[in-house]
Structure 1
Amino acid sequence: MVKTSRPVLQALEPVNGFRLVNSRFPPINLFDDVADESEFELLYQLQALTNPRIQTEIGNLSLIRRSEIPFGIPGCSYATSPFTHVNPQGSRFSDGQFGMLYLADTVNTAITEVGFHQQRYWSGVHGLDYDRLVFRGLKFKTGEISGCDATELDPGDAIYDPENYAPARAFGHTLYKAGAEGLRYHSVRNPGATCWGLFTPRPVKSVVQTSHFEFIWSGRTISAIHRVSRV
């Protein structure tokens, strides 16, 4: 049974992780155009006067403290956007009340994780016989993370249930309330691989674009995945 009342927090080593984001979502330049919180506030107020789409682009800023945004790093928008555009349906370690930044140990693990969830989503869309989905590959570097090493739990633990996210969400909620910056855990979709979930973008030191990947939806399944560009 997973005990979530008193999580054990420890220092996790810096991460070199990978993530795929749908290329239809461009980076939010406002986060990348400033060096600190005071510059952001000034530029945000100016942009809000002239850009009616600014709120949609940036997301809900009330969901994250300014002190958690890693202003001044390369790719700040990619580190921040999961926390201002929160999926209300939640994820493995969040019920949708807070955002999470998920990273994988390799590009292949990121592809496997994204492929699974895209397959599940598009299987519920009726009448779509074909589509081409392009994802942008990103490489993240973080500093040391204060969090939980859930790889110390057996892969058969309830937080790794492939369908029932309730135990994992309870575990994540407890860590979030305890002030953890993130956790390391076993990849559920790519056995033997490792993933990380960050409750804050604060530990991120840089984000750089790597390659683009094309997912082909055949109407019943993701029939192929191609690397379409390389940096």
Structure 2
Amino acid sequence: MGLSEPNTDALPCTTLRGQIAYRLVNGKYPPIAIFDDVADQADFDALFAVQALTNPRLQNDVGELNRVPPDQRPWGIPGCNYALGPFVHVNPAGSRFSAGHYGVFYCADRMATAIAETRYHQQRYFQQVDGLKYDRIVMRGLKVNFTATLIDITPASDHPRWHAPDDYSAAHLLGQQLRDQQHSGIHYESVRAAGSHCYALLTPQIIASITPSAHYEYIWD
């Protein structure tokens, strides 16, 4: 039997104001500097035109900015490049609430939760590399501030299909439907850190600031 579309109208919402959250990104990817150097779309267009003349890689760095509607680009906020990053460089392999056709900004209630989530996925990646005996990556910690009304699917015990450990098929349907309905995101329980919470933001527009914090080293041996 196939999956049916969720009845999102029956789901509760929670409003979070000035919510602090935490995110980890792979340190090998440098910040997209041009995103932090402009205050609005006109500034970006002008600066991009100038820099593109001497930087042939600029388009690759910027990614697919057209995936983000102009009115949802948070120009001028601290850490704008981190806010736009997952939406312009979409992971084609997908994630819990995306099959890989659009980006999602994932963050957690505590840095320890963010570590548990990313450690799980990085470990799975290492396990799939044939012959890998040793590797290390440096993760950059980010402190996020956002304000939004999110669809609330907590507790996980009430919505087990969207909190499945590895089968994301039902969660993909939920994410797609909520994005189509222009919801800001999802509040859900962490699947890798019991009792903790995560946020799947479907637009960068709701992010007020992002500041780098510490770095963390993951070692596979």
Q: CA deviation at 1:66?
A: 2.0
- Cα distance change on mapping 1:156 and 1:204 into 2, 3 Å: closer
* C-alpha RMSD of the superposition: 1.6
Using the alignment, how far apart are the partners of 1:141 and 1:55 within structure 2? 28
What residue number does 1:4 align with?
A: 6
Using the alignment, how far apart are the partners of 1:60 and 1:112 within structure 2? 29
- Cα distance change on mapping 1:140 and 1:29 into 2, 3 Å: same
Q: Return the letter of the residue paired with 2:120.
A: F
Q: CA deviation at 1:197?
A: 0.3
Q: CA deviation at 1:154?
A: 2.4
Q: Deviations over 1:73-92 (max 9, x none)?
A: 11000000000000011100
Aligned to 1:202, the other structure's residue is in SS state: helix
What residue number does 2:203 align with?
A: 200
Q: Select 2:191's aligned residue among 188, 205, 220.
A: 188
Aligned to 2:154, the other structure's residue is in SS state: helix
Q: CA deviation at 1:156?
A: 5.6
Residues 1:103 and 2:107 aligned together: yes
Q: How does 1:142-221 map to 2 (within 5 A)?
A: 142-143=146-147, 145-152=148-155, 154=157, 157-218=160-221
More divergent stretch after superposition (107-116 vs 35-44): 35-44
More divergent stretch after superposition (36-45 vs 81-90): 36-45
TM-score (norm 2): 0.93
What residue number does 1:40 align with?
A: 44
Using the alignment, how far apart are the partners of 1:62 and 1:23 within structure 2? 25
Would the aligned equivalents of 1:4 and 1:175 in 2 still touch at CA under 8 Å? no
Would the aligned equivalents of 2:153 and 2:159 in 1 still touch at CA under 8 Å? no
Q: CA deviation at 1:3?
A: 5.9
Using the alignment, how far apart are the partners of 1:156 and 1:198 within structure 2? 19
What residue number does 1:73 align with?
A: 77
Q: Select 1:88's aligned residue among 76, 87, 92.
A: 92
Q: Deviations over 1:56-113 (max 9, x none)?
A: 1111112111221111111000000000000011100001111000000001000000
Q: CA deviation at 1:4?
A: 1.7
**Structure 2, gaps ≥5 residues long:** none
- Cα distance change on mapping 1:192 and 1:155 into 2, 3 Å: farther
Aligned to 2:56, the other structure's residue is in SS state: coil
Q: CA deviation at 1:6?
A: 3.4
Q: Return the letter of the residue paired with 2:31.
A: P
Using the alignment, how far apart are the partners of 1:56 and 1:106 within structure 2? 32
Aligned to 1:27, the other structure's residue is in SS state: coil
Using the alignment, how far apart are the partners of 2:4 and 2:93 within structure 1? 23
Q: CA deviation at 1:206?
A: 0.6
What residue number does 1:119 align with?
A: 123
Using the alignment, how far apart are the partners of 1:155 and 1:126 within structure 2? 39
Q: Deviations over 1:136-191 (max 9, x none)?
A: 00000012x13301115526611111111000111111111111011100101111
Using the alignment, how far apart are the partners of 2:90 and 2:15 within structure 1? 25
Using the alignment, how far apart are the partners of 1:2 and 1:186 within structure 2? 22
Q: Percent identity?
A: 42
More divergent stretch after superposition (65-74 vs 86-95): 65-74
Would the aligned equivalents of 1:2 and 1:157 in 2 still touch at CA under 8 Å? no
More divergent stretch after superposition (29-38 vs 155-164): 155-164
